[in-house]
Amino acid sequence: MTEKKLLFTKEHEWVLVKGHTARVGITDYAQNELGDVVFVDLPSIGDLVEEGEGFAVVESVKAVSDIYAPVSGEIAAVNEHLEDSPELVNESPLDEGWIVEIKMEEPSQTADLMTQQEYEEFIKGV
């Protein structure tokens, strides 16, 4: 059994690595900054994404924000619950509010991501 590993980007996405799959969402900090999420534009299963490239859009009452791929790969799953309940991004950003799962081309790309402690230090300076 592979241990779950939660990592973070400077663009405020979180990544839960499980084998060769990365589940991606936005952090509590990000959802708090955005305010009430009213719409999530999801990619399609099978879409290819490149590390650092925008692949989804979260729209809130305050702003529209791109979600950037923390790793390269293929969209393996999307959280279809967000189509009818985009507020899950606010209510449960690190769990039920996940956005996509990416089948990673190169799992070593996660080496550049921050640990939870590093991310907490990072947002203190934002």
Contact between 81 and 88 under an 8 Å Cβ cutoff? The reply is: yes
What class, spelled out in words, does domain 5-119 have in CATH?
mainly beta
Q: Could you identify the residue written with the tokens 């799959």?
A: 21
Q: What average pLDDT does the chain have? A: 94
Confidence of residue 30 (pLDDT cuts 50, 70, 90): very high
> Residue range 30-59: average pLDDT?
97
pLDDT at 42 over 50: yes
Query: Tokens for 55?
Result: 């692949």
pLDDT tens digits for range 12-28: 999 999 999 999 999 99
Spell out the domain ranges in the chain.
Answer: 5-119
- Report the pLDDT value the prediction gives residue 16, as an integer from 0 to 100: 96
Compute, in degrees rounded to 10, the torsion defined by CA atoms 80, 18, 70, 89: 40
Percent of the chain topping pLDDT 90: 94
pTM of this structure: 0.93
> Residue range 73-80: average pLDDT?
98
